[in-house]
C-alpha cells in the first residue's frame, strides 16, 4: 500500500465487543475536530477510523505505517482502550521513534494508572485536545521539552509528569468545523454513515454516574459552553449541501450531552437555532439528547418548533423510575417529570428512545427494580436492554468515590473494569448476574430492531402521508400495518416485563438456578418468535411502501 506521507495519524480503535451486524458508522467528532485544528495549522493528518471501517488491527497497522507519521494519536473509551493498546504495541515494534499519544475522557481520568501500567503511550492528552495536539506536534518535531505543552501528562526518564491543564476553549465559534473524512469514506464506499454535529460542549449538571461536567471544564468554569446559533446552522447548511443526499443516514445526530437546557437561556438558544434552520430552508431531520426537565408545561410550543425544524427523535436520559434512585444519581428530576417528557414527545409524534436507563446499581432494592420495570412499561420503553443495564463506573465519576466509601467497590476495580462492584443486597447480586445475557443475541437484536422499526417506520409514514400518492384504501392499509407493528412492539415489552417480574419474585421468595433457567429458556424461545414476527411485519410494511412508491 503506498500512501502520501502524513505528519500525524489519528486512530479511532474498534469496539471489540460490538457485533459487526449492529455497527452504525457514527462520526467520531473528537478526532474530526482535532484533525481540523491540525490542518488549520498546516500539519497534515490522516484519520484511521477502525471503528467506522470495521478494520482489523493488522489492516490498521499497515495503514498507519504507510503514512510514516511523526505522531500517532489514539482516542478511546473504556471499551476501545484494549484495541488501542494492541495497535500501539505493534506501532512501537515497527517504528520506535514515533511519539504515541492517547486522549479522550476515559484516559484523562485514568492517566496515572495508564502511564504506570504501560510504556506504550509516550503521553496522554488531558481534556479538550485541539490546542494541546498542535502544541505537542510542534514540540516533538522541533525537539522541545514536553514541559511546555499544556494539557499533557507524559513520561520522561522513567518519571511521570503532569503539566497544567490547557483551559477549554471559551469561544467555540473559533474552532474550525470538524473534518469530514469519515463521511467522505462512507460516501465513496456506499456505507450509510451517521452524521454528527455538536452545538455545545460540557454540561451544567452533575449526575453522579457521569463526568461530562468536570471533563469539559478542567481547570476553569463554566463547563457548559454554546456555539452561536448562526455558527451551528452554518455547519448544518454545509452538511446539507455537501453530505445530506449522498447515501448517508438522513437523521443527523446532535451529540450535545443535553440539547435543551431547562433554563431560559438554554431554551432561547434552541429557539434561535430552530428559527434559523427554518429561515434558511434547510430540510434536514435530526435527533438530540435531552433531560426529563428539558420540556415543561410552560413552554410546550418548543417541541412543535423543534419538530418544524426537523426534530424526529430524542434520546431521553431517564435513568430510573424510582425517586430514591434518581436522587442518588443527583439527576434533579422526578419520576413525574420523566413521565411528562415521554408523553409530550409522543403527543407531537417525536420518537423517544431511552438507552439512558440504568436499572441495576449497587444500592438498588428488589422492590425498586419492580418500580422501575413498571415505569418502563408505562413509558413504552420496556426493552430487555433497559431492564438489564448495569451501571458502569467510569474513572472520574462521583459514584465511584461514594461506592468506595460504602465498601461496595471491589478490589479488582481499575479503569477498564467498569463493573467491578458488589451489590448491597446479595439477592440483587444473584439476580444481576443471572440477567446478564451478554452471551445471548436477543438483547442486542431486540434493541436494534425496535429502534430501527421506530425510526424508519415513522419516517416512512411521514413521507408517505405528506405526499399525495395515497388513495383512501392505501392509506387505511398503511395505518393497519403500522398498527400491527406497534402491537408487536408492545407485546415484546409485556413479555419482557412478565419475565423480569418472575425473576424478581424468584429472588424475593426462593431463588434456585434451575428455576431461573427454566423461565429464561421459555422467555428466550418466545422472544425469538416475537422478534421474528415483528421483523416479518415490518418487512411486509416496507414491501407495501415500496409498491406504493413504484
Ligand atoms: C456521541 C457519543 C457516542 C456516539 C459516537 C461515538 C463517538 N465517540 O463519537 C455513539 C452512540 C456511537 C457512542 C457509543 C458509545 N459510547 Co459514547 N458518547 C458520545 C458522547 C455523548 C459525545 C462524544 C463527543 O463527540 N463529544 C464531543 C467531542 C468534542 O469530545 P470528545 O469526543 O471527548 O473529544 C475531545 C477530547 O476528549 C479530546 N480527545 C478525544 N480523543 C482524543 C485523542 C487525542 C489523540 C487527543 C489529543 C485528544 C482527544 O479532544 C477532543 C476534542 O476536544 C460522549 C459524552 C460526551 N459528553 O462527550 C459519550 C461517551 C464518549 N460514550 C461513552 C460510552 C461508554 C459509549 C459506549 C461504550 C456505550 C456504552 N455506554 O456502553 C459506546 C462505545 C463506543 C466506542 N466503541 O467507542 C462514554 C465513555 C466513558 C468511558 N470512560 O469510556 C462517554 C464519555 C459518555 C459517558 N460518560 O458515559 N457514543
> Residue 298: which domain range?
192-357
Query: Is 121 in the same domain as 220?
Result: no
Cβ(34) – ligand 1 distance below 6 Å = yes
Gap from CA of 11 to ligand 1 centroid (Å):
14
Q: What residues pair up with 352 in beta bridges, in sequence order?
A: 314
Q: Which atom of ligand 1 is closest in space to residue 108's alpha carbon?
A: 37
On whether the CB atoms of residues 356 and 317 are closer than 8 A, the answer is: yes
**Residue 413 cell numbers, joined:** 476495580
- Provide CB contacts within 8 A for 361, sequence distance 6+: 325, 328, 390, 391
Cβ(110) – ligand 1 distance below 6 Å = no
119, exposed or middle or buried, with CB in 10 Å at 0-12, 13-18, 19+? exposed
Question: Residue 522 belongs to what H/E stretch?
Answer: helix 513-549
Query: Is 51 in the same domain as 113?
Result: yes
Mapped onto helix, strand or coil, the DSSP state of residue 353 is: strand
Query: Is 29 in the same domain as 89?
Result: yes
Separation in Å, CA 216 to CA 22, 106, 203, 315 = 30, 13, 8, 21
Q: Could you tell me if residue 223 is inside a domain? A: yes
Separation in Å, CA 88 to CA 60, 99, 537 = 10, 10, 46
Gap from CA of 431 to ligand 1 centroid (Å):
30
Q: What is the pTM of this model?
A: 0.94
On whether the CB atoms of residues 251 and 287 are closer than 8 A, the answer is: yes
Give the C-alpha separation, 222 to 447, whole Å.
36
Q: What is the model's pLDDT at position 1? A: 52
Cβ(352) – ligand 1 distance below 6 Å = no
Q: What is the model's pLDDT at position 23? A: 62
CATH number, domain at 17? 3.40.50.280
Query: Is 232 in the same domain as 320?
Result: yes
Mapped onto helix, strand or coil, the DSSP state of residue 450 is: helix
Cβ(499) – ligand 1 distance below 6 Å = no
Q: What is the model's pLDDT at position 57? A: 86
Cβ(350) – ligand 1 distance below 6 Å = no
Gap from CA of 28 to ligand 1 centroid (Å):
8
Q: What is the model's pLDDT at position 171? A: 96
Q: Could you tell me if residue 49 is inside a domain? A: yes
Gap from CA of 513 to ligand 1 centroid (Å):
38
DSSP state of 156: E
Q: Could you tell me if residue 375 is inside a domain? A: no
Query: Is 205 in the same domain as 122?
Result: no
Query: Is 200 in the same domain as 347?
Result: yes
Return the residue whose CA atom lies nearest to atom 86 of ligand 1.
Answer: 105
Residue in the block written with cell 484533525: 35
Q: What residues pair up with 11 in beta bridges, in sequence order?
A: 48, 74
Cβ(198) – ligand 1 distance below 6 Å = yes
Q: Could you tell me if residue 203 is inside a domain? A: yes
Query: Is 147 in the same domain as 203?
Result: no
On whether the CB atoms of residues 38 and 73 are closer than 8 A, the answer is: no
CA-angle at 235, arms to 239 and 75, nearest 5°: 85
CATH number, domain at 269? 3.20.20.70
Return the residue whose CA atom lies nearest to atom 80 of ligand 1.
Answer: 77
| Short-list 310, 52, 13, 40, CA closest to 183 | 52
Gap from CA of 49 to ligand 1 centroid (Å):
14
**Residue 233 cell numbers, joined:** 446552522
Gap from CA of 29 to ligand 1 centroid (Å):
9
Q: At what angle do helices 472-508 and 513-549 cross, to 10 degrees?
A: 170
**Residue 435 cell numbers, joined:** 440477567
| Domain end among 163, 181, 216 | 163
Q: Could you tell me if residue 322 is inside a domain? A: yes
| Domain end among 357, 372, 398 | 357
| Domain end among 115, 143, 163 | 163
Total domain count, the chain: 2
Residue in the block written with cell 451517521: 194
Query: Is 245 in the same domain as 352?
Result: yes
Separation in Å, CA 435 to CA 230, 384, 432, 443 = 47, 9, 5, 11
- Provide CB contacts within 8 A for 513, sequence distance 6+: 434
Give the C-alpha separation, 503 to 518, whole Å.
11
Query: Is 199 in the same domain as 149?
Result: no
Q: Could you tell me if residue 407 is inside a domain? A: no
Half-sphere exposure of 127 (CA within 13 A, CB side): 25
Q: Which atom of ligand 1 is closest in space to residue 129's alpha carbon?
A: 50
Return the residue whose CA atom lies nearest to atom 8 of ligand 1.
Answer: 28
Q: Which atom of ligand 1 is closest in space to residue 24's alpha carbon?
A: 12
Cβ(105) – ligand 1 distance below 6 Å = yes
CA 391, 396, 399, 403 torsion-angle sign? positive
Query: Is 203 in the same domain as 321?
Result: yes
Gap from CA of 27 to ligand 1 centroid (Å):
11
Query: Is 342 in the same domain as 196?
Result: yes
Q: What is the model's pLDDT at position 21? A: 59
Q: What is the model's pLDDT at position 440? A: 85
Q: Which atom of ligand 1 is closest in space to residue 28's alpha carbon?
A: 9
Q: Which atom of ligand 1 is closest in space to residue 81's alpha carbon?
A: 84
Low-confidence ranges of the chain (pLDDT < 70): 1-3, 16-23, 299, 354, 463-464, 466-467, 469, 550
Cβ(253) – ligand 1 distance below 6 Å = no
On whether the CB atoms of residues 202 and 257 are closer than 8 A, the answer is: yes
Q: Could you tell me if residue 149 is inside a domain? A: yes
Q: Which atom of ligand 1 is closest in space to residue 202's alpha carbon?
A: 57
On whether the CB atoms of residues 409 and 403 are closer than 8 A, the answer is: yes
Q: Could you tell me if residue 533 is inside a domain? A: no
Chain-centroid distance of CA 183 in Å reads: 18
Q: What is the model's pLDDT at position 450? A: 85
Give the C-alpha separation, 7 to 403, whole Å.
44
Query: Is 18 in the same domain as 102?
Result: yes
Rg (CA), the chain: 24
Return the residue whose CA atom lies nearest to atom 34 of ligand 1.
Answer: 30
Amino acid at each position: 500500500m503506498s500512501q502520501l506521507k502524513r505528519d500525524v495519524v489519528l486512530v479511532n480503535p474498534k469496539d471489540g465487543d460490538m457485533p459487526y451486524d449492529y455497527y452504525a458508522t457514527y462520526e467520531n467528532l473528537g478526532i474530526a475536530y482535532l484533525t481540523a485544528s491540525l490542518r488549520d495549522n498546516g500539519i497534515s493528518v490522516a484519520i484511521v477510523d477502525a471503528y467506522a471501517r470495521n478494520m482489523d488491527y493488522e489492516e490498521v497497522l499497515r495503514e498507519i505505517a504507510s503514512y510514516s507519521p511523526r505522531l500517532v494519536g489514539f482516542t478511546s473509551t473504556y471499551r476501545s482502550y484494549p484495541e488501542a493498546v494492541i495497535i500501539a504495541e505493534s506501532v512501537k515494534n515497527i517504528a520506535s521513534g514515533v511519539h504515541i499519544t492517547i486522549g479522550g475522557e476515559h484516559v484523562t481520568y485514568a492517566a496515572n494508572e495508564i502511564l504506570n501500567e504501560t510504556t506504550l503511550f509516550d503521553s496522554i492528552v488531558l481534556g479538550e485536545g485541539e490546542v494541546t495536539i498542535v502544541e505537542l506536534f510542534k514540540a516533538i518535531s522541533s525537539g522541545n521539552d514536553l514541559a511546555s505543552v499544556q494539557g499533557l501528562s507524559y513520561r520522561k526518564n522513567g518519571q511521570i509528569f503532569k503539566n497544567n491543564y490547557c483551559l477549554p476553549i471559551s469561544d467555540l465559534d473559533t474552532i474550525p468545523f470538524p473534518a469530514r473524512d469519515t463521511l467522505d469514506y462512507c460516501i465513496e464506499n456506499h456505507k450509510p454513515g451517521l452524521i454528527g454535529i455538536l452545538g455545545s460542549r460540557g454540561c451544567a449538571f452533575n449526575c453522579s454516574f457521569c463526568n461530562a461536567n468536570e471533563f469539559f471544564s478542567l481547570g476553569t468554569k463554566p463547563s457548559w459552553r454554546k456555539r452561536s446559533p448562526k455558527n451551528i446552522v452554518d455547519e448544518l447548511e454545509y452538511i446539507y449541501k455537501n453530505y445530506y443526499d449522498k447515501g448517508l443516514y438522513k437523521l443527523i445526530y446532535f451529540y450535545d450531552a443535553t440539547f435543551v437546557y431547562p433554563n431560559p437561556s438554554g431554551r432561547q438558544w434552541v429557539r434561535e437555532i430552530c428559527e434559523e434552520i427554518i429561515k434558511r430552508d434547510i430540510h434536514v431531520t435530526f435527533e438530540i439528547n435531552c433531560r426529563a426537565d428539558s420540556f415543561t408545561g410552560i413552554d410546550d410550543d418548543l417541541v412543535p418548533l423543534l419538530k418544524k425544524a426537523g426534530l424526529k427523535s430524542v434520546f431521553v436520559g431517564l435513568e430510573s423510575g424510582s425517586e430514591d434512585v434518581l436522587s442518588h444519581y443527583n439527576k434533579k428530576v422526578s419520576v413525574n417529570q420523566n413521565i411528562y417528557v415521554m408523553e409530550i414527545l409522543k403527543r407531537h409524534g417525536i420518537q423517544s428512545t431511552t438507552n439512558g436507563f440504568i436499572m441495576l446499581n449497587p444500592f438498588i432494592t428488589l422492590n425498586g427494580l419492580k418500580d422501575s420495570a413498571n415505569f418502563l412499561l408505562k413509558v413504552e420503553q420496556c426493552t430487555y436492554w433497559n431492564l438489564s443495564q448495569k451501571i458502569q463506573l467510569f474513572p472520574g465519576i462521583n459514584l465511584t468515590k461514594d461506592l468506595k466509601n460504602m465498601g461496595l467497590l471491589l478490589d479488582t476495580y481499575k479503569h477498564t473494569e467498569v463493573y467491578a462492584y458488589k451489590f448491597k443486597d446479595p439477592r440483587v447480586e444473584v439476580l444481576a448476574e443471572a440477567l446478564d445475557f451478554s452471551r445471548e443475541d436477543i438483547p442486542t437484536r431486540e434493541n436494534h430492531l425496535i429502534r430501527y422499526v421506530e425510526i424508519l417506520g415513522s419516517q416512512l409514514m411521514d413521507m408517505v402521508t405528506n405526499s399525495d400518492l395515497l388513495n383512501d384504501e392505501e392509506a387505511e392499509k398503511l395505518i393497519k400495518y403500522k398498527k400491527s407493528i406497534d402491537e408487536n412492539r408492545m407485546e415484546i415489552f409485556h413479555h419482557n416485563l412478565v419475565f423480569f417480574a418472575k425473576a424478581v419474585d424468584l429472588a424475593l421468595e426462593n431463588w434456585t438456578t434451575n428455576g431461573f433457567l427454566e423461565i429464561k429458556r421459555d422467555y428466550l424461545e418466545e422472544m425469538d418468535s416475537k422478534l421474528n414476527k415483528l421483523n416479518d411485519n415490518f418487512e411486509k410494511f416496507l414491501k407495501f411502501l415500496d409498491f406504493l412508491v413504484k
